[in-house]
Structures are given as C-alpha cells and as structure tokens.
C-alpha cells in the first residue's frame, strides 16, 4: 500500500469536516441546505467536498424535476460500505472519550 496514495483515501473520509458530511449522509439522502446547516464551513468549501465525494464515487447527486429543481445527495454502495467503519469509530469514541 503506497502510503501517499493512502493519505488521499484517509483524508477523503477523515479529513477536516469530511467525516461529519459522511455521517450526515449515512443517516439518509440530504439536500445541500440540510448538510450546510450542520457545518461551520463556507458554501464553497462544502460544494468542493461534495464534488470530491462525487468524483470518488462515494456519493451521487439526484435531480428531481420539480419547480424549483430539487437536488439531493445520497451515498453510493462504496459510500455505504463505510458505515461499519464509521459506526465502529463512533463506539470507540463514546467508549473511550466520553466515559
């Protein structure tokens, strides 16, 4: 495993705020505004991350033909496969850090 290639994967899930975005989407498809509300980051920063997640095939964007158009973000299979890792890490945090 090339440690540098790894760094990209590592930061994809666990980079600054990325983990929180993933957790939001693990609780179901979300609109941009739903995700934005949970994070103290700029719209640009969130848009960049969502584009990165999409490029890495972790999430997909769904357009609903409504007026105005509704856009939702949802996890792909690859994104959904992170669930056990995130849940295990959450258990570790609550067991060791909030005990």
10 CB-near residues (< 8 Å, 6+ apart): none
Contact stretch for a copy of itself (CB under 8 A) within 5-13, 28-36, 47-55, 67-75: 5-13
Residue 13 near a copy of itself by CB under 8 A: yes
User: What is the SS3 string spanning 57-96?
Assistant: CCEEEEEECCCCCEEEEEECHHHHCCHHHHHHHHHHHHHH
* Residue 55 makes contact with a copy of itself by CB under 8 A: no
> Where on the chain is the footprint of a copy of itself (CB under 8 A)?
1, 3, 5-7, 9-11, 13-16, 19-20, 38-39, 78, 81-82, 84-85, 88-90, 92-97
């Amino acid at each position: 495993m090339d440690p540098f290639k790894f760094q990209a994967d590592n930061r994809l899930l666990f980079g600054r705020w990325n983990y929180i975005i993933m957790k939001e989407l693990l609780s179901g498809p979300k609109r941009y505004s739903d995700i934005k509300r949970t994070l103290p980051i700029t719209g640009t920063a969130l848009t960049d991350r969502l584009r990165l997640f999409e490029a890495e095939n972790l999430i997909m964007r769904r357009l609903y033909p409504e007026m105005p158009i509704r856009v939702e973000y949802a996890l792909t299979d690859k994104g959904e496969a992170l669930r056990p890792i995130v849940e295990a890490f959450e258990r570790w945090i609550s067991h060791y850090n909030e005990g």
